[in-house]
């Protein structure tokens, strides 16, 4: 059972470089989310999507872009990485309650990104 898969798991970037994090889920979930986790700050929502072709900003969207061209994939892009974007990034997915009456988030294993 793959669930939610994130790639890559680790990455080191130089300031100004770009990269894309890929999230793939095989649970046919409508909703997908990107969070960042920093010490003492819990998880903060970057962007989310409620369906294929739709995206929306979360709490901390600046410096990130996302795309959801396919229902199972949600990409997070950093166009010009900055040291402040050093963090652990989590992708998560869920279904609306009318389809799956749990509502919980299913998480990937996280991606540790370091920007030098």
Partner 1 sequence: AQTVTQSQPEMSVQEAETVTLSCTYDTSENNYYLFWYKQPPSRQMILVIRQEAYKQQNATENRFSVNFQKAAKSFSLKISDSQLGDTAMYFCAFMKLRETGNQFYFGTGTSLTVIP
Return residues touching partner 1 (CB under 8 A).
Answer: 31, 33, 35, 40-45, 48-50, 56, 88, 90, 92, 94, 96-97, 102-105, 107, 109-110
**Closest approach of partner 1 to the CB of residue 14, in Å:** 24
Query: CB-wise, 20 or 37, nearer to partner 1?
Result: 37
The residues, ordered by sequence, that sit 6+ positions from 102 with a Cβ below 8 Å of its Cβ are 95
**Closest approach of partner 1 to the CB of residue 104, in Å:** 5
The residues, ordered by sequence, that sit 6+ positions from 78 with a Cβ below 8 Å of its Cβ are 13, 18, 19, 20, 63, 64, 85, 113
Query: CB-wise, 35 or 64, nearer to partner 1?
Result: 35
Residues 54 and 49: their CA atoms lie apart, in Å, by 6
């Amino acid at each position: 059972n793959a669930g939610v898969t994130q790639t890559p798991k680790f990455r080191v970037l130089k300031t100004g470089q770009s990269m894309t994090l890929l999230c793939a889920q095989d649970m046919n979930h409508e909703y997908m989310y990107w969070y960042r986790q920093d010490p003492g700050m819990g998880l903060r929502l970057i962007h989310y999507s409620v369906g294929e072709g739709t995206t929306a900003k979360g709490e901390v969207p600046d410096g990130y872009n996302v795309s959801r061209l396919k229902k199972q994939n949600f990409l997070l892009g950093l166009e010009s990485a900055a040291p402040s974007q050093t963090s652990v990034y989590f992708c998560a997915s869920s279904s609306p309650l009318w389809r799956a009456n749990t509502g919980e988030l299913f998480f990937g294993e996280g991606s540790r990104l370091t920007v030098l």
